[in-house]
Each structure stands twice: as structure tokens, then as C-alpha cells.
Amino acid sequence: MDKWWKNGVAFSCTQCAKCCSARDDASYVYVNQGERQLMAKELQLPLATFTKRYARRAADGKYYLNFVDGHCIFLEDKKCIMHDIKPTQCRTWPFWEEAMASKAEYKKQVLDFCPGSNVDSPVVKADDIKKQINETEDAFFEV
């Protein structure tokens, strides 16, 4: 592995909810069918009702959660009401392929934005980062 993050990356979520808010042109959380089903069950709704009420379909066929007032519809008082079953995209932040592509990209997308990235420890190991990148990419292929 010849990645800039081969020795791991220090990160610890501060639960500041900044990643749940729109930033620049990024105001979406992709959710595949399995994730929508889990959230629908949590809200005791049929999948179709959940999808109609809380999600939209992108031109590429993928679904994403609605944003309201600049943040994810499931963010209330800086807390995710779906925290225990949150979508893969949320669970794997900030270890997404595009953010980990280079130190410069990580700085732009994560270090300059997320207080949880400005820590000395704990260090997330390279193998765990790779797993999260793969998990995110795999989840995006499921509609």
C-alpha cells in the first residue's frame, strides 16, 4: 500500500454535526435500499412512504436524504435521530475515497472543516481506513 495514509490518520468524532450540514455544493447523504428499509422500520413506515417523505432520487437512480434548512432531515438539536442505524456514508466519514486521494484533498475536505480531524489520537489504522473506503464505495453501488 503506497498511500499517504499508510501509517493511519488521527481522527476522533466530536459529534459537532458539521458533516450533517450542507457545505458548498455538497448537501446530500446517499442511502441505498437496505438503509432506507432500516430507517423506515425505525420510523414504523412502509418503505415507499419513507422514501416519498424523506428521500429523493438522483438522475443516476441513487437515492439521497432530504436536507432541510441546510442540514440532513434527521438532524435534530445537533444530534442524529438515526445515529444507531445511520447510513454508510455517515458512518464512514471522513474516510471516503475522494477525501483520502491526497494529503491536499484531505486537508481541503476534512482538516479545514472537521474538528475531529485536528487531534493527535486515536489513530485510525490504514487497514480500517481502506475498509471504510471500500464499504462506502460498495454502498453507493446499491440503489
Q: What is the pLDDT of residue 76?
A: 94
Residue 83: inside a domain: yes
Q: What is the pLDDT of residue 142?
A: 64
Q: What is the pLDDT of residue 119?
A: 87
Residue 64: inside a domain: yes
Question: What does each of the 143 residues of the chain score in pLDDT, given as a tens digit?
Answer: 569 999 999 999 998 999 998 887 777 899 999 999 999 999 999 999 999 999 999 998 999 999 999 999 999 998 999 999 999 999 999 999 999 999 999 999 999 989 999 888 899 999 999 999 999 988 877 65
User: Model-level pTM?
Assistant: 0.86
Look at strands 123-124 and 79-80 and give their pairing: unpaired
Residue 70: inside a domain: yes
Residue 1: inside a domain: no
The span from the first CA to the last CA of the chain, in angstroms, equals 30
Residue 77: inside a domain: yes
Q: What is the pLDDT of residue 1?
A: 52
Range of the domain at 102: 9-141
* 118-124 LR contacts (CB < 8 Å, sep 24+): 119/10, 119/11, 119/12, 120/10, 121/10, 121/12, 122/10, 122/11, 122/12, 123/7, 123/8, 123/9, 123/10, 123/11, 124/8, 124/9, 124/10, 124/11, 124/95
Residue 54: inside a domain: yes
What is the total count of domains within the chain? 1
- Residue identified by cell 415507499 is 48
Residue 2: inside a domain: no
The enclosing H or E element of 123 equals strand 123-124
> Which residues, at least 6 apart from 117, have a Cβ–Cβ distance to it below 8 Å?
9, 10, 11, 94, 110, 111
